[in-house]
A and B are shown apart, each in its own frame.
Chain A
């Protein structure tokens, strides 16, 4: 079983602060996705990273895929209350076959207050 550990599990910060969420594994992934889930809804894809060392930016969110494709980070600059939610990383194991069987991380619950 390929596990994805996320840290921290919980994070409560004030509006305007910066934060980083980590996603780590001992396994190699061909790609990695980040999802955000709001209360009462299903996860929604934020980004997919594919190449080792890749950095992608989505407004105030910066995503990085580790050089060895075993880990990833999500950095949020100047957090806003709208960033509140559960952040999930999901890895696509190498050579699994025909369909996209993702392994989801343990999740980081972020709360941003005014």
Chain B
């Protein structure tokens, strides 16, 4: 089975441009997470979806960031306009999740290879 697929793997853009990162989760997983990783701040959760519905976007830095999940097999993270401080590696991860039930153990999150974004 294919793992989580992210595209592009590398993106270099100029400040002010729109950037769209794409993610295809593992088939059958119903939770999807977007993370950002930098040396200074480590791995930060930006937003996560359960059954295609955004559950918590409190980690989204500001209105320039938006994420969508139009169906169970595709999600996008968009930055408009991009700024140099957005430079980071962006990861998408997916996992099983039991919507509507209390659970006691976290499910394993499967991470994609990441998109390295450089904004100049």
Contacts and interface: CB of A to CB of B under 8 A. Distances in A.
B101 A98 contact: yes
Interface string B93-118: 10101111111111111011110000
A97 B113 contact: no
B106 A102 contact: yes
B98 to A, nearest CB: 7
Contacts of A106: 42
B105 A42 contact: no
Interface string A80-114: 00000000101010010111111111110000000
Interface stretch (A17-25, A43-51, A55-63): A43-51
A42 B93 contact: yes
| Chain B interface category by residue count | 20 to 34
Contacts of B91: 42-43
Interface stretch (B11-19, B43-51, B62-70, B72-80): B43-51
Interface string A1-42: 000000000000000000000000000001101000000111
B106 A48 contact: yes
Contact of A100 (B95, B102, B112): B95
Contacts of A43: 43, 91, 109, 111
Given A33-B106, A48-B105, A48-B108, A98 B50 contact: yes
Given A31-B106, A48-B106, A101 B48 contact: yes
A23 to B, nearest CB: 13
Given A42-B114, A43-B109, 18 more contacts: A31-B105, A31-B106, A43-B43, A43-B111, A45-B108, A48-B108, A50-B105, A90-B106, A98-B97, A98-B101, A99-B31, A99-B55, A100-B95, A101-B45, A102-B45, A102-B106, A104-B44, A106-B42
Interface pairs A-B: 7 shortest CB-CB: A42-B111, A92-B106, A100-B106, A104-B43, A99-B50, A99-B97, A45-B108
